[in-house]
Chain A
Amino acid sequence: MKSLLRKIFLVDLIEGLWVTFRSQHPKNIVTEQYPAERPRIAERYRGAPRLNVHPETKETLCIACNLCALACPEHLIVVTSERNEQTRRKELTTFTYDISRCMFCGLCEDACPTDALELSQDFELAAFTREGAIWDRQMLEEGPVPTRYRY
């Protein structure tokens, strides 16, 4: 009898609808208005790669040891270097990073002994061409410039 009454008066459906109405309070809205409102990115986020330079001397921290290229599962990092005849040290010449194949696993970052290579919080990586996704040393050191939208 009770279940029949529940059926006639659609109690179960109304209970469900009540959940919907409860969630419509402005306090309960959680949608992020993305381009207008920037998301909060966690500190450990693994995004666009960065090749760090020394903050004062602006010299690269990379010692061209090639460990990141060896650690990369996709083999997408190419490091070239030449030996400086005076100091007998390896110096970085080019550094190429193909973010179109990168899966942001962070193994290169873990392998880096000098914290030169870092996966930063930048996440907007779209490019107009495939070649645009292959980042050279200059791009890696300066980082991408995200577009700010105004509404």
Chain B
Amino acid sequence: MPEATFLDANELVLNMGPQHPSTHGVLRVVLKLDGEKILGAECVIGYLHRGVEKIGENRTYQMFAPYVDRMDYVAAVSNALGYCLAVEKLLGVEAPPRAQAVRVILTELNRIASHLLWLGTHALDIGAITPLFYVMREREDILNIYEKYCGARLTTHAFRIGGLQYEVYEGMERDVKAFCKKFLPRVDEYEELLTENRIWKDRLINVGILNAEDCKAYGVTGPLLRAAGVKWDIRKAHPYSGYEKYDFEIPTRENGDTYDRYIVRIQEMRQSVRIIEQAVEGIPEGPIMAKVGKVIKPPVGEAYVSIEAPKGELGYFIVSDGSTQPYRLRVRPPSFVNLQALDKMSRGSLVADIVAIIGTIDIVLGEVDR
């Protein structure tokens, strides 16, 4: 990228953010423009940095669990699941079958909630204000289930190392089934609003193309990778928490543009409903907590566990030195890695498209900056 000078009339440097409504938080993007065309986009991050990894090194294993919810706060349950699985791997224990089934139900509900919020804000960025209100209505049902199950709506702290803290509340199966039944027609409703809408199609098709090679080169995972035609889903590739028992498909598309990512996420919501329906049918009886002591002291060693979070591959790498606190805790957040591809995706497109492209990556700045 050539250096812009003061008198260079061809190139304009424009700061977008950090206080911009469509950067989904405090993301600053330095855009190099030639008229309306984007020559390059540089992300400046760190406005929301809280040093979560360092906090993890100064807390015991149980104490750190509420903090992971605050990274990707839209999908707090997925974060908690990844962290709990990583510590369980270090300890060499596995959650009982009943706990695993409940974990699957809650994480899949969380995937729906995360995708719903993405759909609403993404459509809002592009100019369709209506879907936002409808997705919030459905998300409210999911959050109500969380509130009844674990007592919090957003930063849930639903799982504990070794299983669950709370037993399934009375009527949870009924609530979840009712939600699933109600939700599928609602997805049709969103599709009625958007999928064939001309403005929506004109704004999204062939915008922000990222092909499979680039996705792999950048380490991009999740719906972005699947929209480029790669059938990669950790739930199928390395099943965890009993995902191998459930029958579901990995939706993929070919073009890898913004419209395809929209379709992939919509299909994923339908698949999540499928998984929830199977899981809620047969929640096995039994204990909800594995045999884990009150003081968690994993043996010396290290463990890496990655799960399929709504935004992509979420990994936790923990090094234990045998004490009650992790020696090193590293998080591989999907949003952070996916955001790298912004420059590649936005090059050559118009300024108005950058809003659609940032929206389609589905970033949460709490997770990007940690």
Contacts and interface: CB of A to CB of B under 8 A. Distances in A.
Given A12-B197, A15-B192, A110-B165, A46 B130 contact: no
B218 interface: no
A36 interface: no
A111 to B, nearest CB: 9
B169 A16 contact: no
A126 interface: no
Nearest to A29: B137
Contacts of A105: 65-66, 157
Nearest to B170: A43
Given A23-B134, A44-B166, A71 B63 contact: yes
A30 B144 CA distance: 13
Given A15-B192, A42-B147, A44-B150, A103 B155 contact: yes
A103 B66 contact: yes
B83 interface: no
Contacts of B130: 16, 19-20
A119 B155 contact: no
A44 B151 CA distance: 5
Q: B-side binding surface: helix, strand, loop or mixed?
A: helix
Nearest to B134: A23
Contacts of A18: 192
Contacts of A23: 134
A19 B150 contact: no
B198 A45 contact: no
Interface in B70-107: 70
A71 B294 CA distance: 11
A63 interface: no
A106 interface: yes
Contacts of A107: 62-63, 66
Chain A residues touching B, range? 20 to 34
B140 interface: yes
Contacts of A71: 62-63
A41 B147 CA distance: 8
B366 to A, nearest CB: 13
Given A42-B148, A104-B152, A119-B151, A12 B196 contact: yes
A30 B137 contact: yes
A1 interface: no
B67 A73 contact: yes
A46 B193 contact: no
Interface string A96-140: 000000011111001000000001000000000000000000000
A81 to B, nearest CB: 22
B166 A19 contact: no
Q: Which of A18, A44, A119 has the most CB of B within 10 A?
A: A44
Contact of B140 (A19, A30, A44): A30
B197 A106 contact: no
A44 B167 CA distance: 11
Nearest to B188: A19
A73 B151 contact: no
B196 A15 contact: yes
Contacts of B150: 44
Interface in B188-206: 189, 192-194, 196-198
Interface in A30-85: 30, 41-46, 71-73
B66 A42 contact: no
B49 interface: no
B64 interface: yes
A72 B169 CA distance: 25
Contact of B63 (A15, A42, A73): A73
A106 B140 contact: no
A89 interface: no
A13 interface: yes
Given A42-B151, A44-B148, A16 B193 contact: yes
B204 to A, nearest CB: 14
Interface in B102-133: 130
A118 to B, nearest CB: 11
A41 B153 CA distance: 11
B152 A13 contact: no
A9 to B, nearest CB: 12
A20 B140 CA distance: 19
Contacts of A19: 130, 134, 189, 192-193
9 contacts: A12-B198, A16-B130, A19-B134, A43-B169, A44-B150, A71-B62, A73-B63, A103-B155, A105-B65
Given A42-B148, A44-B147, A44-B149, 10 more contacts: A12-B196, A12-B197, A15-B192, A16-B130, A19-B130, A42-B144, A45-B152, A46-B151, A103-B70, A107-B63
Lowest 3 A-B CB distances belong to which pairs? A105-B66, A44-B151, A73-B63
